[in-house]
Chain A
Amino acid sequence: MTKLTSRRGLLFGAAAVSAGAVLTGCTSNETDDGGDKASANDQPVADDKPGKQVTIGYAGPQADHGWLNAINDNAQKRAEKYSDVTMEVTEGSNDTAQQIGQIETLINKKVDVLVVLPADGKALTQVGLKAMRAGIPVVNLDRIFNSPQAYRCWIGGDNYGMGLNAAHYIGEKLKDTPDAKVIELAGLDNLELTKQRTQGFDDGLKNYPNIQKVARQAAEFTVESGQAKMAQLLQAQSDFDALWNHDDDQGVGALRAIEQAGRDDFLMVGGAGALSAFQAIKADSGVLKATVLYPPTMAASAIDLARALGQGKGVSGLAEFEIPSTVTCYSAVVDKENVDQYMSTGFK
């Protein structure tokens, strides 16, 4: 069910790269007599057919948030889909020391490939290096290690792109509104990703000189903080045209505050892709008109990549023999027009 969207990140990149490959292939074939058969089309690529048995070690996050829970869910469901994949799953953890211990155990068990969403990318770099030195390729999921030597492949979301796309969506909606005002309900301010989301948003808004960001408050990615901070923002800003909220989970609280204040004079764009947000966008009964994705399906894609690594295969649609070293998922804007397509990826 998640196949279409989980490969989306890959396919977008693949489309561009393979278009180039086809072009060069055509021009070279005109003069080539076909003696060299090492063309991309002959390389084994990962597909759904059972292949070599692969044991994947998975060290995921503690699921104390809707999105993180969806990450673990996506990984496990995808692994169950393949008859040739065995998954060794450690208990989800937010604790650096605990996760290092878990990954060392997986290294000692000699799993074929590791998929790690680190509690803290910087702090876990050493154990990533250790796994790579032990000959176990690491698929680094989302929070990135400090050194490229610590992973074979990184797949994650585009925080800057979330902000950028949110700004573009709002910009297009408000481009005919003179002196438009927007406000921002950010996530946890001590996270790097929050700064990236805000930076992308600010950069995106620069394309629309008629729009001014008049306020920004940081919440804590929780419903409670979302409600409290949004209630204050609404009191502070009696008149604005659009709101960007970094996270759909805290958005549940923010929407509650908006409802309690009886406000409906602006449009709201969420972030991440929660099921409740998709449903609200589809119903189109409130201020929430769109959400920018930070797809938890990247965890399913990480399992796909780990399996391909374990079986020594490439990726369908790409000319290269190997899987790419980095894959950045696209932060698509989901609004009423395309929400049905994404509904099945929404997390609770």
Chain B
Amino acid sequence: MTQHVSPPRDGTGKAAPVDGPPAWRVQLGRADVRTLTLLGVLAALVLIGGITQPDAFLDTRNLQLVLTQASVIGVVTVGMTFVIVSGGIDLSVGAIVALASVWATTVATQEYGFVGILFTAIVVGVGCGLVNGVLIAFGQMVPFIATLAMLASARGLALQITDGRTQVVTVPSVLDLGERDAYVLGIPPLVLVFAAVTVIGWLVLNRTTFGRRTVAVGGNAEAARLAGIDVRRQRLYLYLLSGLCCGIAAFLLIVLAGSGQNTNGNLYELDAIAAAIIGGTLLTGGRGHILGSVLGVLIFTTITNIFALNNLQSDVQQIAKGAIIVAAVLVQRRTASTH
């Protein structure tokens, strides 16, 4: 596909109207084409689901189920997208979710009820993010190494706290959030949190100074520094943000599964990175799309759902997931090749 002109962009895909491109092309900026592609994939999946299992798939309950299951990993992915846009990576998200969920479900926090559990999950998440951020921003550590170390130690600590046991939540107000009675206009509260995190994440990345600085740091850290951005502080904030998202996700997982276990959040880091990449976020930094990431999560969750409804086994599901990642990236190369 040839590009007639390159209208100025600010990473959001908003194209300035200049002479040359037809109106539809201005409307459909690069990012929009990408989003449409992902929506197309999602629509195709919905079609497949609807044809193979019309009763079970096209059912309100199933829609609620898919969105609920996407919520936990979805919130993690929003945080991960910010980190990747800045040129970093956070391998510790799954381990932080595990640590936050077991710490928040210990007997001690259950005595403080709903607030105690929510507060602990978020504090632990942010705390881990702070350690990551300080190591990377001020300890000059490579993000890959620093967060790999956090992955190992947070998982270890989670195992130590639980002693391998499953910590069942006994606080009714927490459990009730996952019940059908708590749905707002048919939407589960977990999904509302996911939607709120997505909207806030999109606004922050695309409409604030913080977001522009994040893109700038990821595009060229040295140029960003010369432009007066405090790159180190920006990096610190981004890992804090990722930790915060993990804390929120841990709370959602506690509500969903009704327990804390050291195996929680297994392989979230890879799922979140995969979703961000098929959503069009560059692994090298400088460009990112919250909506793309969220669509990536929804695509994965929908595949899992369709496969389970058709009683296909997990090995087939994993193969399909790999194929989707490859296909999505290849399709993007064709529809939005500028790099």
Contacts and interface: CB of A to CB of B under 8 A. Distances in A.
Interface string B120-147: 0000000000000000000000000000
A199 to B, nearest CB: 15
Contact of A64 (B69, B159, B257, B310): B159
B209 interface: no
A231 B263 contact: no
Contact of A222 (B61, B62, B263, B308): B263
Interface stretch (B7-15, B34-42, B164-172, B213-221): B164-172
B314 A232 contact: no
Contacts of A261: 61
A24 interface: no
Given A236-B56, A276-B168, A215 B263 contact: no
A256 B168 CA distance: 10
A224 B308 contact: no
A69 B266 CA distance: 19
B216 to A, nearest CB: 37
Interface string B291-316: 00000000000001100111101110
Contact of B311 (A65, A217, A253, A276): A217
A216 interface: yes
Contacts of A225: 266
Interface residues of B, number: 38
Given A236-B311, A256-B257, A262 B180 contact: yes
B314 A235 contact: no
A322 interface: no
Given A227-B257, A235-B59, A218 B309 contact: no
A29 interface: no
B98 to A, nearest CB: 9
Nearest to B267: A220
Nearest to A347: B165
Chain A, interface SS category: helix
Interface residues of A, number: 40
A260 B163 contact: no
Contact of B308 (A66, A217, A226, A256): A217
A238 B263 contact: no
Contact of A223 (B55, B259, B305, B314): B259
B69 A228 contact: yes
Contacts of B305: 232, 235
A226 B257 CA distance: 9
Contact of A63 (B164, B265, B314): B164
A233 B308 contact: yes
Interface in B247-288: 253, 256-259, 261-266
A235 B309 contact: yes
Of A62, A238, A260, most B-chain CB atoms within 10 Å:
A260
Given A64-B263, A348-B166, 7 more contacts: A63-B163, A217-B313, A223-B259, A224-B253, A236-B308, A261-B61, A276-B168
Interface of B: 53, 55-56, 59, 61-62, 65, 68-69, 159, 163-166, 168, 178-180, 253, 256-259, 261-266, 304-305, 308-311, 313-315
